[in-house]
Amino acid sequence: MASIARVSCLSIAISLVVSAASAQPSALPDGAGRAVLERHCVACHDLRRPAQALGFDAAGWRELVDTMVDLGGSPDLEVLTEYLAEHFPPRADGGARVVDGPVRIRFREWRVPTRGQRARDPVEAPDGGIWWAGQWGNLLGRIDPATDSMREYPLPTGARPHTVTTDAAGNVWYTGNGNGTIGRLDPATGAVTEYPMPDPALRDPHSMIADARGVLWFTAQNSNMVGRLDPVSGEIRVREVPTPGSRPYGIKLDSRGTPFVACNGGNCLLRIDPATMEIREYRLPDAGSTVRRLAFASDDTIWYVNSRLGRIGHLDPRTGEVREWPSPSGPRSHPYAIAVVDDIVWYNESGVRPDMLVRFDPATEVFQSWPIPSGSIHAGIVRHMRPTRAGDLLVHQSATNRVLLVDLP
């Protein structure tokens, strides 16, 4: 099937769908529901999505639609869900291969308030609260896991936060992917301080991480740049990445606070010198590789997803040595987010339906995997995952407005 992750988010292709079997564009089937779809379903994404989903019965479609738009009380809802269930019924095969195994995990889900916001990138703050970025809803949100209460904070117009992160002091920072800023939110007042980019060439702050001193390191995929923000002086320094089209994406720190970056546009990983911001490139063996995200093991070696080739990989930055393993669901599995918890590798396969959470034990080289739930259906994609201090894992489903805590053994 076509990889959902590679479909442009905002392109609007009314009355085109990609047939799941052939990946060829075809007309959206006729029927009463078609006009309803065109009326309610193009504000956030194009109409190819239904064909890319796993497929559901009417109740399943109703549940999915309700996470995006509120059609409660409208006669359109019945027409739409009947139409979707007729033309996009449950599929036996969404490409995912479930790998059984002995490890038991549990998912705890929160559905966040504003529909269709593309909730993503949950992170645990030092006070135990869980923050998420509502990228399309232009908001940040916080869950109190002790009470399940949630609060959403609107951001300045056009910020469209790509990620949220907290520093050791508990400050809440986001990347303003839409308006070329980094922002800091004061949770007590809801006030936002914006730090505009000093160089207009850096348009799209993307992923970000705070080091032990509170310095923020970030990537800008489309601008092919990386940057750092010193929160004390407010100074921002930016650097262009050496190879054009590298598309710097995920960013993580090794144990000494040195940032490493994944290239979503090519077969590279990047090391940023923390003092000089000089960039060193590490080449991965296969030219066709692209890497969304990376994570460090306790020995400061790197685990990464080879998204385009459907593999996971390991790089030792001291020797440059690389090894890769095919992901269980194959070359189109599009591994996306990745985290290392107690030296076990966790990542997801976003190119297949359902989106699979995969566990890989480097000591035994054994995989195990689970479909990630979204209520009683399976839909959505994990785009970033981060461990909690207790050694569990925070993930999300960007389609169905879910933040999930995965209780690991």
Buried b (16+ CB within 10 A) or exposed e, 300-323: ebbbbbbbbbbbbbbbebeeeebe
Query: Tokens 């100074």 — which residue?
Result: 235
Provide, rounded to whole angstroms, the least separation between the CB of residue 25 and ligand HEC. Answer: 16
* Nearest by Cα to 214 from 204, 227, 193, 228: 228
Match 């509120």 to its residue by tokens. Answer: 70
- Given the complex with ligand HEC, which of 76 and 124 has the nearer CB atom? 76
Cα(24)–Cα(42) distance, rounded to whole angstroms? 20
The residue of the chain with the least Cβ separation from ligand HEC equals 116
Shortest gap between Cβ of 113 and ligand HEC (angstroms)? 13
- Cβ density class 163-177: b for 16+ within 10 Å, e for less: bbbbbeeebbbbbbb
Smallest separation (angstroms) from ligand HEC to the CB of 74 = 10
Cα separation, 340 vs 29, in Å, equals 44
Tell the smallest beta-carbon distance from residue 354 to ligand HEC (Å).
8
Please, which residue, 309 or 379, has the CB nearer to ligand HEC?
Answer: 379
Smallest gap from Cβ 49 to ligand HEC, in A, equals: 4
> Which residues form the interface with ligand HEC (CB under 6 A)?
4, 9, 40-41, 43-45, 49-50, 53-54, 65, 68-69, 115-116, 118, 136, 353, 379-381, 398-399
Q: Which is nearer to ligand HEC, 66 or 167 (CB)?
A: 66
Sign of CA dihedral 175, 179, 181, 186: negative
| C-alpha pair distances (Å), 286 with each of 188, 266, 323 | 49, 10, 11
Minimum distance from CB of 102 to ligand HEC (Å)?
A: 29
Six-digit token pair at 279?
């960039």
Residue entry with tokens 């109409």: 47
In whole angstroms, the minimum distance from the beta carbon of 285 to ligand HEC comes to: 30
C-beta of 83 vs 296, nearer to ligand HEC? 83
- Measured from the CB atom, is 49 or 292 closer to ligand HEC? 49
Q: Which is nearer to ligand HEC, 45 or 359 (CB)?
A: 45
Task: Please give the Cα distance from 401 to 409 (Å, whole number).
Answer: 26
Choice between 53 and 112, CB closer to ligand HEC: 53
What's the rounded Cα separation, in Å, for the pair 334 and 351?
5
Q: Tell me the Ramachandran region of residue 54: left when phi exceeds 0, alpha when psi lies from -120 to 50, beta otherwise.
A: alpha
Q: Which is nearer to ligand HEC, 63 or 324 (CB)?
A: 63
Tokens matching residue 210: 């705070």
Burial zone of 203 (CB within 10 Å; 0-12 exposed, 13-18 middle, 19+ buried): middle
Between 259 and 371, CB nearer to ligand HEC? 371
Closest distance of CB 400 from ligand HEC, Å: 7
Residue 199 C-beta: closest distance to ligand HEC, Å: 29
The least CB distance from residue 109 to ligand HEC, in Å, is 15
Residue closer to ligand HEC by CB (options 9, 168) is: 9
| Torsion sign across C-alpha atoms 272, 278, 282, 288 | positive
What is the C-alpha to C-alpha distance for residues 189 and 200, in angstroms, rounded to an integer? 30
